[in-house]
Structure 1
Amino acid sequence: MTGVKLQKVVKKYGETQVIHGVDLSIDDGEFCVFVGPSGCGKSTLLRMIAGLEETTDGQIEIGHRDVTHLDASDRGVAMVFQTYALYPHMTVEENMGFGLRMNGHPKDEIKSKVGEASRILKLDDYLSRKPKALSGGQRQRVAIGRAIVRGPEVFLFDEPLSNLDAELRVDMRVEIARLHNKIGATMIYVTHDQVEAMTLADKIVVLRAGRIEQVGKPMDLYRDPDNKFVAGFIGSPSMNFIEGVVEGGAVRVPALGNRIVKTTVNLPGEGHPVSVGVRPQHLSITEGQSDIKLDIREHLGGISYDYLVLGDGSKLIVETRDDREIPEGSTLLVGFEETDALFFDGVSENRLR
């Protein structure tokens, strides 16, 4: 069993603390994705697990072994970086087997392990090529193959697709998902792209400012976020937030013509600010007199995204699945079912339930 466990993990650079007492358990064979905005600490946390950053306080376990202060080479992990870091003068086969050669493994063993990794990653036709003769996606597969041949207990990926173009990102995302299904190893993957997180993960860890905001399955976080930050980060396009105020046991929303939104959640006291969260696909629009205007409409074929500007200057995104032609600048009426709305405390930003 090779899970990973973090207990009250802290990272400081001098007096600056960047990771604040993180507790996390990752099960054996689980695909766990760290996601969050730039500077949230996700790569730092990954590098601490890898042994590339010292742990200031707390404990890291891999497979029930305390590895907190072990060298990276003794932790049983393999890391795939954003940059491919391939040796340009070596062939694909030589690059993939380099680590094993350096550790004195027999040639037959190296050839067997490289061959197996090559078959998994569909690199058999490229083994004699050098990196300059490969596409970006092929180079990243070689980097992943180099990790596979080491037979690690845990695979660590640090934004491995960020240097690829959009089409290759999709292709490699599928390749990595297929790899995980095939070998069943524990994988920890860092990305700022919540689409990658949603499509790859068994478990998502949402980070902000060195703290965990929420942990859960992708659709659990999407449907049941704990706070406004998670609700806005998970989902593409992101959730809309419309500011309101508690009034008479409901929420009055000035920007929607003082609409009264009823709810069964426990609301704060009278006059307390509340954010009403609604996904773009749950909003509807009709032409009519209001102070809400259509700014831009994006047609993407089967769906369109309408970018609206409300009277108070706030913005909404509406997802529609029709091909109506609404002129930009038109005034619109916006509707939604109250059961589709989530409510967040306007001060703490925590979910109201």
Structure 2
Amino acid sequence: MSGVTLNKVIKRYGDVQVIHGIDLEIADGEFCVFVGPSGCGKSTLLRMVAGLEETTEGEINIGTRDVTRMDPSERGVAMVFQTYALYPHMTVKDNMGFGLKMNGHPKAEIAEKVAEATRILKLEDYLDRKPAALSGGQRQRVSIGRAIVRGPEVFLFDEPLSNLDAELRVEMRVEIARLHKEIGATMIYVTHDQVEAMTLADKIVVLRAGVIEQFGAPMDLYRDPDNKFVAGFIGSPAMNFVSGTASGGAVDAPGLGARFDGIIGPDHDGSAVTVGARPEHILIDPAGESHTVELTESLGGVSFVYLTSETGERVIVEERGDERSVEGARVGIQIDPARIFLFDGATEQRIRR
């Protein structure tokens, strides 16, 4: 197995540049997830690693090999697509072994590798079925099995779960995590779903407009985001953001109905700041009156309460327990100042204490 290194990688389509000098190192055996909004360049970057998109400038290395100008078949990668891309007239067994057959591998070797992939993915009962007789989750497992039999150095996943329903997505996340643990291969996974990223990744790379905003371990990005974009993208529901003003080492945040003392330096006095607070770090105070309950989404063990402040700013609060806030009620909120995030009002960069 091998790691992947991107060195000042650029992609242009004519005069339009979509990837802007990416530097990134993915360690051997690491599970790296690219996340970001639609159009941020995550799938383009993955396809550049695969060789399906030409690299305009820069260098891509897999292990010790410079693969920047290599044909996709020579790079030692296998790609799993969103659309499964299975041959409808072939059985599961034939689909998984077809690539090896076309490359002239002996029948005995193909059978051995297909059997190993079948064991890993628990597909023994489906080998003689055709794709039309399989569920979406089973088809995706076959697609992954086809990648496994090639014995690649690097697995590439391009939003492989987006066509599945919610229950199957959870099931397949567990399958992919188990697969990574069992075979220990380097994996690069593209998704717009930050829940998938948080649950699967060793390393998350947050992209925006073809630039890496931040990368690191999932909980590092959750606890210590570099800017407002990353803070809002990592976490579900998203972090609350309200306007604030710094003065005398304190921040006034009317949208949270609070003034937070001693959380900002004097060099920011008079500056506009953005105050961030995660829904799970806010408590509702039934005795307060700073906010109005607009809506409560009850999901069973947890609810999300949508509040509107007197300034008109919306705040989402996670609520647990048997009691639920009532729509139309006036309530207050409580926040530990240590849980507050501050961002520069102009640059949106994190203001660290």
TM-score scaled by length of structure 1: 0.97
**How do 1:92-111 and structure 2 match up within 5 A?**
92-111=92-111
SS across alignment from 1:195:
helix
Q: Count residues in correspondence.
A: 352
CA distance in 1, matches of 2:87, 2:6: 34
Kept after mapping to 2: 8 A contact 1:267/1:352 = no
CA distance in 1, matches of 2:146, 2:255: 55
Query: Residue deviations 1:302-330, cap 9 Å, x none?
Result: 21110111223221110111222432111
Kept after mapping to 1: 8 A contact 2:251/2:263 = no
Kept after mapping to 1: 8 A contact 2:250/2:264 = no
Q: Tell me the CA shift for residue 289 of structure 1.
A: 6.0
Q: Tell me the CA shift for residue 286 of structure 1.
A: 2.1
Name the counterpart of 1:141: 141
Bigger drift between 328-337 and 247-256 goes to 247-256
Name the counterpart of 1:282: 281
CA distance in 2, matches of 1:3, 1:250: 46
Name the counterpart of 2:158: 158
**How do 1:169-318 and structure 2 match up within 5 A?**
169-257=169-257, 259-266=258-265, 268-288=267-287, 290=289, 292-318=291-317
SS across alignment from 1:285:
strand
CA distance in 2, matches of 1:269, 1:190: 38
Matched, 1:61 2:61: yes
Letter in 2 for 1:314: E
Kept after mapping to 1: 8 A contact 2:247/2:266 = no
Kept after mapping to 2: 8 A contact 1:243/1:253 = yes
Kept after mapping to 2: 8 A contact 1:84/1:139 = yes
Letter in 1 for 2:223: R
**How do 1:12-91 and structure 2 match up within 5 A?**
12-91=12-91
Change (3 A) 1:95 1:229: same
Q: Tell me the CA shift for residue 288 of structure 1.
A: 4.6
SS across alignment from 1:347:
coil
Change (3 A) 1:209 1:263: farther
SS across alignment from 2:243:
strand
CA distance in 1, matches of 2:132, 2:325: 49
Q: Tell me the CA shift for residue 282 of structure 1.
A: 1.2
Change (3 A) 1:194 1:217: same
Kept after mapping to 1: 8 A contact 2:251/2:264 = no
Change (3 A) 1:108 1:325: closer
Name the counterpart of 2:341: 342
Name the counterpart of 1:126: 126
**Unpaired runs of 5+ in structure 2?**
none
Letter in 1 for 2:138: Q
Query: Residue deviations 1:91-120, cap 9 Å, x none?
Result: 000000000000000111001100110010
CA distance in 1, matches of 2:122, 2:261: 56
CA distance in 1, matches of 2:325, 2:297: 11
CA distance in 2, matches of 1:92, 1:241: 49
Change (3 A) 1:132 1:256: closer
Change (3 A) 1:65 1:267: farther
Q: Tell me the CA shift for residue 291 of structure 1.
A: 5.1
**Unpaired runs of 5+ in structure 1?**
none
Name the counterpart of 1:112: 112
CA distance in 2, matches of 1:286, 1:152: 55
Percent identity over the alignment is 68
Query: Residue deviations 1:28-58, cap 9 Å, x none?
Result: 0000000111111000000000000000101
CA distance in 2, matches of 1:267, 1:61: 47
TM-score scaled by length of structure 2: 0.97
Q: Tell me the CA shift for residue 281 of structure 1.
A: 1.4
Q: Tell me the CA shift for residue 15 of structure 1.
A: 0.7
The two structures, once aligned, show a CA RMSD in angstroms of 1.2
CA distance in 2, matches of 1:3, 1:256: 45
